[in-house]
Amino acid sequence: MQKKQVLQGIDNFKRLIDNNGYYVDKTLLAKELIDIPNQITLITRPRRFGKTLNMSMLKYFFENPKCRKYELEEDDVSYLFLDLEIFKHGEKYIKEQGKYPVIYLTLKNAKQDNWEETLYNLKKIISNEYKRHKYLLDGDILSEEEKEIYIKVIALKADIQEYTDVIMNLTEYLKSYFKTDCMVIIDEYDTPIQAGYINGYFKNIMEFMKRDSKITKH
């Protein structure tokens, strides 16, 4: 058996496991989310605890492989969990793996010292997630008007008003496409808020975040 390695700077769960890195097993976090199906779960941990790696693990555990079509990762990734705790707790939890569409947003880089650059980064983050799910543009899940806005969001050409409910709308599209609930995972959601407080654009960032305040209800 190949000796495991201590890998530095990797916060992608699949990359860590595929490269035989040491992993402190926190997969029972997925079990907690299954056992206590709250609509909103806030996960707070100290710095350097591995929050981003945990969020990545949850994404790979719950996400339907079809969501990764344009990431060239459409394959089943259940093998990542075979030797981990979550798969030792029975069929109830095994069946949840790869079951749901997932929206995954990490806001860790949206922390510029002015509002204009932070807004641009937030739009890019949303654009990338829309792009990741662009298979939704095929077929008739979206109306022609919805497709037009969808394409504008990808191209960073949507007006600020069109970002109202932009993530909530994506959850609805995914629910219609997959015929099941959608999970939204937001990593470092407070980073742009802190940057806004420090750099004088707190009101701007809060108004923008409120535009999609409903995203936690899906």
Residue 37 pLDDT class (50, 70, 90 cuts): confident
For residue 1, what pLDDT is reported? 58
Cα separation, 206 vs 190, in Å, equals: 10
Question: In which band, very low, low, confident or very high, does the pLDDT at 216 lie, cut at 50, 70 and 90?
Answer: very low
Q: Which residues contact 7 (CB under 8 A, 6 or more apart)?
A: 16, 19, 21, 22
Extract the tokens encoding 140. Answer: 């008739």
d(CA 75, CA 165): 31
The Cα 203–Cα 193 span in angstroms is 9
pLDDT in tens, 111-143: 999 999 999 999 999 999 999 999 999 989 999
Q: What are the residue boundaries of the structural domains of the chain, listed by start?
A: 1-98, 100-218
| Global model pTM greater than 0.85 | yes
